[in-house]
A and B are shown apart, each in its own frame.
Chain A
Amino acid sequence: MIELKSIYKSFEDKDVLKDISTQFQDGITNLIIGQSGSGKTVLMKCIVGLLVPEKGEILYDNRNFLAMNKKNKILLRREMGMIFQSAALFDSMTVLENIMFPLDMFSKDTLRDRIKRAKFCLDRVNLMDAQNKYPDEISGGMQKRVAIARAIALQPKYLFCDEPNSGLDPKTSLVIDELIHDITTEYNMTTIINTHDMNSVMGIGDSIIFICDGMKEWQGNKDEIFTATDKRLNDFIFASDLFRKVKDVETHHAE
């Protein structure tokens, strides 16, 4: 479990995060949603330690990340996996080498075992055929799947996904969402997903927090989101005609 306690972060004069407190549970997909510029990416960067908040506590299973020394922070980071918006694959390495990389750096297994583990991860994301290709030779969706395979190679306890569906078509987005959800359940990880894709919200939103202007505006799950009364949340969620119609149907159905 990851717990945030009163996180504050500002850049020069602008307060980007204001008093964010929440908990992210194990074995479920925890979504952070919000408009572009609402502070969700900054929040995720603070959680993983790429940015340091001015105030607050970040507890990884009751271990205070911000109070840790450098060595312990590095050790904790080895329990994390992250999928970036751009996949962030190393373009000088093949797909298999990308997945092997964290194993080469941290695993004490033999080369044969490392290759076996990398191939297992690759098979888990259905990309065995692409193992010898370079990232620029595969599609965006495949790159995201390689990023997932790389993230789970060391069997992390915490998985972070920064807009994993960005730039993908709805069908591929669905595949990625399902994969992340299945892996989360399978490894009982604490998974945090940063998104503004409403299909993801409706599909895998086991737990959702809505960030607006740097503050936590609402918390709930995908079933509660339809009946939420928060005006800002409704403005965000039902901004498109499609979701307004879905809400009407759902409300009508409930009546």
Chain B
Amino acid sequence: MIFKALNTLGQYLILMGRVLSKPERLRVTMKQYLKEMSQLGVNSIGIVLLISFFIGAVICIQIKLNIQSPWMPRFATGYTTREIMLLEFSSSIMCLILAGKVGSNIASELGTMRVTQQIDALEIMGINSANFLILPKILALVTMIPILVTFSIFAGIIGAYATTFSGSVINAEDLTFGFQYSFTEWFVWCGIIKSLFFAFIISSVSAFFGYTVNGGSIEVGKASTNAVVCSSILILFSDIFLTQLLTK
């Protein structure tokens, strides 16, 4: 078990060594980079906005209903909703969701390219296939995820505001005061910094599982599942370390 894990880690590091080398043709890599930004990032905006909007609204309602007490200040709901969105949901939980969407996409795409010999075709041409295929994906996701995190924060806050129109849960003044109360700009940066690490984990781990597929369609499916599971676990572990490191 330990030997297998170390072997996989070794293979991953060797692959990353190949990925993080100088591109053959910068122009072609840039073209790929823009394409991947669209495919992995821009195409995820919709789901990020949708989930964040509803989660923001639900967090706001749950907090208001569950911590409502004469001893609690009225702005506590807005304050707590903001902190949850900034510190955990928009960075960590959103990246877990994206690990499912983007991670499986990367692993299945590369896995299919492997089993249909498209990667072999690149190698025969004398192209560093790992660098050509994986580097643009990593760069694109590292570029796009902080943007998605920012969108998620805003969508969550808008979602929370939406609850003020839906009934008598909370009024807009209390919510606004809570959102503005004791605001620490660093927390926004914490979320963005964490998301950069998570973006690297999602793209590189998923690419590793896809690129090293050996077999047919069943193995591509397995690689896709493994990519999501492994990326999610790594995100959760690194979240603990990063949170401790960034909030000291």
Whether both chains belong to one complex is answered with: yes
Residues of B within 8 A of A82 (CB): 121, 124
Chain B interface extent, by class:
10 to 19
Q: For the complex, is B173 an interface residue (Cβ under 8 Å from A)?
A: no
Q: For the complex, is A104 an interface residue (Cβ under 8 Å from B)?
A: yes
Encoded as 1 (CB less than 8 Å from any A CB) or 0, chain B from 180 to 224 comes to 000000000000000000000000000000000000000000000
Residues of B within 8 A of A218 (CB): none
A104 in contact with B121 (CB, 8 Å): no
Q: For the complex, is A48 an interface residue (Cβ under 8 Å from B)?
A: yes
Encoded as 1 (CB less than 8 Å from any B CB) or 0, chain A from 6 to 45 comes to 0000000000000000000000000000000000000000
- Within residues 72 to 129 of chain A, which ones have a CB less than 8 A from any CB in chain B? 73-78, 80-82, 84-86, 88-91, 102, 104-106
Residue with the greatest number of chain B CB neighbours at <10 A, chosen from A50, A73, A88, A102: A88
Residues of B within 8 A of A80 (CB): 124-126
- Taken together as a complex, chains A and B put the C-alpha atoms of A73 and B128 apart, in Å, by 12
Q: Is the interface of A mostly helix, strand, loop or mixed?
A: mixed
Residues of A within 8 A of B25 (CB): 104-105
Chain A residues with a Cβ closer than 8 Å to the other chain, count: 24
If A104-B25, A104-B28 touch, whether A50 touches B121 (CB-CB below 8 Å) is no
Residues of B within 8 A of A76 (CB): 126
B117 in contact with A86 (CB, 8 Å): yes
If A75-B126, A77-B124, A77-B125 touch, whether A90 touches B28 (CB-CB below 8 Å) is no
B126 in contact with A74 (CB, 8 Å): yes
Encoded as 1 (CB less than 8 Å from any A CB) or 0, chain B from 112 to 135 comes to 000011101101111100000000
A84 in contact with B117 (CB, 8 Å): yes
- Taken together as a complex, chains A and B put the C-alpha atoms of A86 and B118 apart, in Å, by 9
B126 in contact with A50 (CB, 8 Å): no
Total CB contacts across the A-B interface at under 8 A:
49
B120 in contact with A88 (CB, 8 Å): yes
Residue of A nearest to B116 (CB): A86
- Taken together as a complex, chains A and B put the C-alpha atoms of A76 and B125 apart, in Å, by 9
Residues of B within 8 A of A81 (CB): 124
Residue among B117, B118, B126 making CB contact with A77, cutoff 8 Å: B126
- Taken together as a complex, chains A and B put the C-alpha atoms of A50 and B123 apart, in Å, by 8
Residue with the greatest number of chain A CB neighbours at <10 A, chosen from B28, B118, B126: B126
- Taken together as a complex, chains A and B put the C-alpha atoms of A194 and B101 apart, in Å, by 40
Residues of A within 8 A of B126 (CB): 73-78, 80, 106
Residue of A nearest to B124 (CB): A82
Residues of B within 8 A of A105 (CB): 24-25, 28, 125, 127
B28 in contact with A88 (CB, 8 Å): no
- Within residues 24 to 75 of chain B, which ones have a CB less than 8 A from any CB in chain A? 24-25, 28
- Residues on B lying within 8 angstroms of A by beta carbon are 24-25, 28, 116-118, 120-121, 123-127
- Residues on A lying within 8 angstroms of B by beta carbon are 48-50, 73-78, 80-82, 84-86, 88-91, 102, 104-106, 160
- Offer 23 A-B interface pairs, CB within 8 angstroms, sorted by A: A48-B124, A50-B123, A73-B126, A74-B126, A76-B126, A77-B126, A78-B125, A78-B126, A82-B124, A84-B121, A88-B116, A88-B120, A88-B121, A89-B118, A90-B118, A90-B121, A102-B125, A105-B25, A105-B28, A105-B125, A105-B127, A106-B125, A160-B124
